[in-house]
Every structure is written in structure tokens, then in C-alpha cells.
Amino acid sequence: MVEANLEIQQRIKELRGLLQKASYEYYVLDAPTISDAVYDQLYRELQDLEQQYPTLITPDSPTQRVGEKPATQFQSVQHNISLYSLDNAFNFNELKTWQERSQKIAVNSSEIPTYVCELKIDGSALALTYENGILVRGATRGDGMTGEEITQNVKTIRSIPLKLALENPPPVVEVRGEAFLSLNTFEKINQDRKKAGDALFANPRNAAAGTLRQLDSKIVAQRKLDFFAYTLYIPQPDNLEAIPSQTQWENLELLQTMGFKVNPNRQLCSNLEEVIKYCEYWDQERHNLPYMTDGVVIKINPLSLQKQLGFTQKFPRWAIAYKYPAEESPTEVKSVTVQVGRTGALTPVAELNPILLAGTTVQRATLHNRDRIKELDLHIGDTVIVRKAGEIIPEVVKVLLELRPKDAKRFEMPSHCPECGQLVVQPMGEAVTRCINESCPAILQGSLIHWCSRDALDINGIGDKLVQQLATKKLVNSVADLYQLTVEQLMSLDRMGEKSATKIVNAIAASKTQPWSRVLYGLGIRHVGSVNAELITQKFKSVEQLIQASATEIEGVYGIGPEIADSVYQWFNLPANQNLIERLKNAGLQFDSSQKIEDNQTRQSQSLAGKTFVITGTLPTLKRDEAKKLIQNAGGKVTDSVSKKTDYVVVGEEAGSKLKKAQDLGITLLSEEQLLTLF
Ligand code: IVH
């Protein structure tokens, strides 16, 4: 092995310091000082050096945030100090009772009980252990005494320091806090899951907890968890819970000094009135925060008083959670409609008398599925309780049976698909009711929208209305038919002029240059979101390889579990799907990333074989690269300069000397539109 000289060791240290500082400024202070590009450059330099000198890799190196291999399972860990949960107060009276009781118990103390108010972040509690300043263990709360060791996942959370910012760190430091997802990230995750046909997370808390228990830390890293620290222990040999300061307030400040993100919206209160004011203020204001809070945690500030008060069986006596009432409201169910999704799943939706909830007007709420309706015993005309928390979708949580009108009619899931009229099925062991008609217009329309969406084939200009027309006029019966559409056909649709029609045809043609990973995602296979599609196509470089793979081989892809693997395997085994792939291949879509497109020509139409093109000026819809790829896909060659050997010059706006030369040489000129007709 090559020995690293001192200079290299020094550089590695320097790079780590710079990256650590940049991460801290970006993720904890929210005040970046260097650009992403510079960060990436420094990161790559460090990565290269560590690859050359692997013995110099340390667990706190910024390169160690994502693990190499996914875990097969998590180990249980005993918490040295149990993680208690909190007693709740649901109104200010209950808060007062708690405060009076704690004051009575602490009556002999000379300390004046001040209170720290912290926002109660709706996430998942984590216990972090640092030895000699280095993060060595991260664990979930579990049942409070035993949790799961998820160190590799915890390391992906960029606001958690891998190394404490202390000159002389104590031998052991235990930090606790809440891992959470911002509302934005939560919505993005759910959007991706929806597109992949996966069940949505009900709220950011479930999404955070689910993410922390992912076996593949690469997926965890993509989910962008965040963390607020709120508890600090610095155990001494003779006292596990020895405390580094006198108060909780000072502990929060100390945590901040150590490099943690501590919620800035905390307040030190000297009496219950101030505590109540804080709770009232945040009841409204919390809706403006980028993350979910469901209450306020009130902690007695002096640690000596905390010690004196101690714990009940379940809770500390020195802290309580004031819970905001859930945003629920009664309203009447006017009717129930049934939506059919891209996967054929039927979702019943309650149409409501509009109500105001969590700051927005709600007129529809999901009833999830047939089992849920049965459980609720829902009748049309019922008065129900609708809840909207941080959830994006409001839901019906309860029926008020005593208010049921006499003529209320029980709602039954339809036996036939509301979109195509075919008999629906209730798969064994599943709560979902499904339409399995291959040509159901709702399924077709959903698949077309998905195919054209931004993360898939990114075809601009094809929205809900157009898709509906294309499907009902039977111009398109599958995504492959999009590639046969002509300007004339499109012009036969409502409010479609020649210009828009041409634009759409061009946008469809341009999508043929999209890579194999996007094509796979666009196919809309269950559980295959854009991330999974990327992972799968990294291993299976062509569709042939994927079709030949067994479910076990697909499961061998880093980050792909058995359920996903099975879904992909089943999909490619259906003759109808293989037929679709064949048609898309013939249309010129990319099903191979192993070779350069130039080498790929054999399996694609070769209408431009032997022809040489030059492109000049700005084309109306295609980017230069897209046009180039299209020509190459059809067997043509694209060169930079015009000569006698040039067959065609494609001319866009503001074409310059190349146009002139072409005219001089008498070479055929093409507009973008004319070029596209050649394919
Ligand atoms: S203190 C013994 N502080 O709420 C101290 N907990 O319902 C217990 N939580 O399990 C925790 N924000 O996951 C504390 N600022 C905060 C909190 C907080 C959220 C969570 C935590 C705990 C749960 C109790």
C-alpha cells in the first residue's frame, strides 16, 4: 500500500475541516458561504484521496455519511438511560394542575421554578452517542428501554454532526432530539410514492419513522431528514446522568455550541401565564413553520429541580406536552364519488359541505377503501368528523351515528368500474378494490399523464384535458400510440391550432432522446419511482437484460427490496407489456444505456442511414443536442461544418455563415418541422 506523506495527511484534514464547516453553515445555520459546485469539488478531492489511502478514512469523515452496503437487519440496543415519553395536557387547566403539583413537590427547594418552552416537533426521537467527540451510535427510541441501532442512517442526516465542535470532548456524550421531515420534503416523498403506485405516508411523523427504518442508507440520504436536538447528558463514571450545566436552557445553548441544530423558537418563561402566552402564540403561528408541530413541551428549567421531581412509571414529572387540539370538524357527507387511479385502484371520496380546517377550505376527504368504509359504517347524509393535520389529504375519522338522518343510505363500493363499466376485483388479502380492464380509459389516461410527466419522459403540453380527448376519441390507446400521432390528428381536437399541434408532435419526438432510466420510470410499474428506476437501470443496462433477469437477480440491485423486485419481474413477464416495449423500441425510445447512441442504431429505424447533417441557428422547439440525438438514432451523422459531403442543413433562427455556405453549395435546407417528418 502507498504511504501517504505528511502533506497528503494535512490536505485530507484540511478538506474535512472545510467540508464540515460548509455542511454546518448550510444545514444547521441555514447560511451557506460556499457554492454547491465548490463543495462538490472539495468533496471529490477528499473522496479521491481516501480512495488512494483507505487507511486514512475515519468514521467522522464527511464521505462516510452514506453506507456502502444496505443493512440486512437492525440490531437492538439497550439504552443506557431510558427514553421516557411525556404526559399530555389538552387544555390550560390540565397544564395548571401539572404546574401546581410540581410546585408542591419541589416546595423545599430554594430554586425558583422557571420553565423552558420548546416546540413539540412531530417526528421520531433519536438517541445519539458520541465517544471522544465522534458519533459512534444512533438509535431509535423503541419501547424506551430497547431501541434499534440505526447509526448508518443517522449519519445521513446532515444537521447531525459526525464530530462534536469541542476542543476537549468528554469521553461520552449522549444527545437526544427529534428527527423530522420538512413539510416540503414530506410532500415530495408522497408525490413520488403516488407516481410509483405506493401507499402514501399518512403524515410527516410516519414518513420520518419509516425512513429511519429503511435498510438502505442511500434511500435515507435522499429523503433529507433533519434533526433538532433537545436533551444533553454527559455521564461521569460514577453518575450516568451527570449534567454539564445547571439548567435545561443552558443545555440547549451547549448543544448549539457543540454543532447541533436547536430549535430557535424556544422561550424561557418565569411563570405559567408566560407559558400559556407562548402556547397561544404558537397555536396560530405554527402553521407558518416549514415543519409539523403538534404542541409545546414545557420543561422545568433548573436541573436540580428536575432531579428532585423525578419520574412516574412512564413520564418525567418535570415536563409535560401541551397538545394542540387536532384540526377536526364535523360536516355533512353530500355524496361519495369513486376515483380510478393509474393502477386501477378505486378510491372512495366523500364530497362534503365545505368547512375550514387548518387554514384551508376542505370539501373532499378520502375514505381510503372498502374496509375503511365498513369500519366507519358510512351512510350518505351522515354527519362525520373530518381531520386535517399536517397530512395533505383530509380524512373522515368518525361518523356521528346519533345525527344520522332517517333516509340516510349506506354507501357500497360499486361492483363495476365507474369509468369503464367492467366488473372490479377485490384481490385476496388486500383492502383495495381494483379495475383490471387493460383498456379502462381512467387507467389509460393515468398512464399517459405519468408517461409525459416531468420526471418521466418530460413531454410538455400534454395535460389532463388533452389526454382525455386523445383517449375518448381513441386516437391513443397506449403510450406507444403517442409516437404515431400526426399534426393533422391533433388539429382535429378542440381548440388546437397548427402551431400548438406541431409543438406537441415535436415534444413527443424529442422524448425519444430520454434515457432508459426515465423510460423505465415512465412505464409506471408499481413501486418503481424515479429513484428505483435509476437504481435498476444502473445494474440492468438494457431492457433485454432486465427481461431475462429473475426476481432474485432484480432484488440483488442495491436498494431494491423483494416486493419491488417481484413487481418488476411480474410486469416484464406479461406478454402485453413485452408487446408494448417492442412498439416503443420501434418508435425509437431508449431501452439501453450500455452503448453510445451511435452504436445503438442497429435496433432502431435507419431511415437516415448514410446521411450527413449540419444544424445551424436556434430551432423552435428542439435543443441542439436533442435534434442531434434524433438524427443519430435514425442512423444519420451530424457534423459541425458544411461541405460538399453534407446532405442536409437544418436551419433555425439566426443562422449565420453555415446557412450561406449551404446555399452557395446548393445543399438541401430543412426546417425543424421538415426534419421531423424525415423520421
Ligand atoms: S423531551 C423525558 N422535547 O415527543 C423527555 N420531546 O410525546 C422526553 N418531542 O418521545 C422528551 N419535541 O419524540 C422533548 N422539544 C421536545 C420534543 C419532544 C418532540 C417528542 C419526543 C418524545 C415525544 C413525547
Contact 670, 608 (CB under 8 A): no
Which distant-in-sequence residues (6+ apart) come within 8 Å of 411 by Cβ?
Answer: 336, 348, 373, 378, 379, 380
Residue 321 has pLDDT above 90, yes or no: yes
- Cα–Cα dist 371/79, whole Å: 39
Residues 216-245: b if buried by 16+ CB within 10 A, e if exposed = bbbbbbbbbbbbbbbbbbbbeeeeeeebee
Ligand 1 atom closest to Cα of 316? 2
Q: Are the beta carbons of 288 and 107 closer than 8 angstroms?
A: no
Q: Which residues pair with 233 in a beta bridge?
A: 174
- Alpha-carbon distance of 470 to 479, in angstroms, equals 11
Mutate to test the pocket of ligand 1, among 82, 83, 85 (most ligand atoms within 8 A of CB): 85
Straight-line distance from the first to the last Cα atom of the chain, in angstroms, rounded to the nearest whole number? 56
**C-alpha torsion sign, points 466, 192, 182, 298:** positive
Please, what sign has the CA dihedral across residues 369, 375, 379, 382?
A: negative
The CA–CA distances, whole Å, from 44 to 41, 48, 567 equal: 5, 6, 36
Distance from the CA of 320 to the center of ligand 1, in angstroms?
9
Measured in Å, residue 116 CA sits from the centre of ligand 1 at 13
pLDDT at 658 over 60: yes
Tell me what pLDDT residue 238 has: 64
What does DSSP say about strands 345-357 and 383-387: parallel, antiparallel, or unpaired? unpaired
Alpha carbon of 638 to those of 427, 630, 642, 650: distances in Å? 53, 10, 10, 10
Buried b / exposed e over 173-189, threshold 16 CB at 10 Å, is bbbbbbbbbbeebbeeb
The Cα–Cα gap between 28 and 117 comes to 21
At 588, which amino acid appears? G
What per-residue confidence (pLDDT) applies to 601?
38
pLDDT at 490: 95
* Closest atom of ligand 1 relative to the 263 alpha carbon: 15
Contact present, 367 and 373 (Cβ < 8 Å): yes
Nearest protein Cα to ligand 1, atom 9: 120
Nearest-CA residue for ligand 1 atom 21 is 125
From atom 11 of ligand 1, which residue's Cα is the shortest distance away?
85
Distances in Å between the alpha carbon of 207 and those of 210, 218, 601? 5, 16, 44
| Cα distance between residue 179 and residue 140, in whole Å | 10
Q: Give the pLDDT of residue 222.
A: 87
Q: What is the pLDDT of residue 603?
A: 42
- Ligand 1 centre and the CA of 530: distance in Å? 34
Phi, psi of 78 (to 5 degrees): -85, 130
Give the closest residue to 417 by CA, choosing from 340, 303, 521, 516: 340
Has residue 600 got a pLDDT over 50? no
Q: What is the CA radius of gyration of the chain?
A: 31
For 186-231, the DSSP string reads HHHHHHHHHHTTPPPPSSHHHHHHHHHT-S-HHHHHHH--EEEEEE
Q: Do β-strands 395-399 and 383-387 pair in parallel, antiparallel, or remain unpaired?
A: antiparallel
What confidence category does residue 676 fall into, taking pLDDT thresholds of 50, 70 and 90? Answer: confident
SS3 readout for 276-342: HHHHHHHHHHHHHCCCCEEEEEEEECEHHHHHHHCECCCCECCEEEEECCCCEEEEEEEEEEEEECC
Average pLDDT, stretch 333-345?
92
Percent of the chain with pLDDT over 90: 57
Give the separation between CA 292 and CA 211, rounded to whole angstroms: 16
What type of residue is 488? E
Distance, in Å, from the CA atom of 616 to the CA atom of 619, rounded to the nearest integer, reads 8
Pocket test for ligand 1, best of 225, 230, 232, 278 (most atoms within 8 A of CB): 230
Q: Which atom of ligand 1 is nearest to the CA of 125?
A: 13
- Mean pLDDT over residues 403-425, rounded? 93
Give, using CA atoms, the residue closest to atom 16 of ligand 1: 120
* Residue of 120, 261, 299, 629 marked catalytic: 120
Q: pLDDT by residue (tens digit) across 525-583?
A: 988 988 789 889 989 999 999 999 999 999 888 778 888 899 999 999 988 899 999 99
The tens digit of pLDDT for each residue in 219-262 reads 898 889 999 999 999 987 666 555 568 999 999 999 999 999 99
| Percent of the chain residues past pLDDT 70, beyond the cut | 96
Residue 242 has a pLDDT of 59
Residues lining ligand 1, Cβ inside 6 A: 84-86, 118, 120-121, 125, 141, 178, 230, 297, 316, 319, 321
pLDDT averaged over every residue in the chain: 89
Q: Is 96 a catalytic residue?
A: no
Closest ligand 1 atom to Cα of 124: 13
| Mode of pairing for the β-strands spanning 612-616 and 648-651 | parallel
Predicted TM-score (pTM) above 0.85: no
Q: How does pLDDT run across 485-533, given as a tens digit for each residue?
A: 999 999 999 889 998 999 999 999 999 999 999 999 999 998 898 878 9
DSSP 74: P
pLDDT for position 634: 80
As given in the structure block, the three cell numbers for residue 539 are 445494474
